[in-house]
Structure 1
Amino acid sequence: MRERRAFQNARRAREFEAFVAGAAGRLLHAATLLTTEPADDNPRARKLLTSALAQTYASWDRLRGEDPYDRARKELALRFARAAWHQHRGYGGVLRHLGPQERLILVLRLYEGVGEEQVAALLGLPMERVHAIHARAMALVLHPPRGPAPAAPLGDAAALEEVPS
């Protein structure tokens, strides 16, 4: 009995290691997009991914035909959504102008290719709300808000005053 359990644990560990070897890079990239951290310095994204993978491993035996990547992505998204209120703004990149919910929906829809219905079900939002948030996020990414206009140098203002009318 002990040998059988040890064999099952070893098989489970090998299966999970193979899954992580294939999926961790893409999931880390998704987490990095969500946290808007630089790709080479992303401790929050790594922590988010580690937590999601740990939960996926804990439920590995109960997947029963469910796609482990889908489970890990779902766990990553839910963990980000639960912790998003701690993060008010992004750090950089094209998604920095988006709020956490907008980033989450945009990353799930565009980067991960998750359908609108699935995103709505995952986040517990009406599909119309997901559609509206996605549209607003796309608009902000394609047309980011501009900063304030630069102030005119003092020399130029003085030169304008000297011009006779």
Structure 2
Amino acid sequence: MNGTRHEEFRAYVAERGPALLRAAMRLTPDRTEAEDLVQAALAKTYLAWDRIHDRAALDGYVRRAMANTQISWWRRRKLEIYPTDELPDRPVDDHTRRSELRDALGRALRRLPERQRVTLMLRYYEDMSETEVAHVLGVSVGTVKSTVSRAVARLRDDGALGDDFPGPPPPHS
């Protein structure tokens, strides 16, 4: 891979890395395994970089590579797990509350006006800076800030979320 392509790949990873990690976290709840999954998929993408002519399809290519890799890892582990008559001594985590909160948050997001929902998704799910969100939506940075502020306030006031909604994560930019 020549220097230009190498820089192009590095720029892609720098820009899309956080979003790809979030996608990997949907395939496996373990952050370390999700990071490994992203790295494995990016290694495959790096090797195929010259064959991927449609750069708009890169996310799809990497996500497909993550899914295929995760399936391969799951199958390999499945062969390593054997039934036993003894139950493990450690308790299994109950993720029910986290699932309930995720469902409630999804419903609360759908109750937001579309502009607030889209702004929140771009800002926190896609991990875009306020400037990037403003550019994508064709509005000022101040409009993005006020829209996010109003949306978060509505989510905090949403009775279905209760006291469990702390607000969005701190911005990365």
Give TM class, smaller chain: 0.3 to 0.5
Structure (1 or 2) with the larger CA radius of gyration: 1
| TM-score of the superposed pair, with normalisation by structure 2 | 0.43
| TM-score of the superposed pair, with normalisation by structure 1 | 0.45
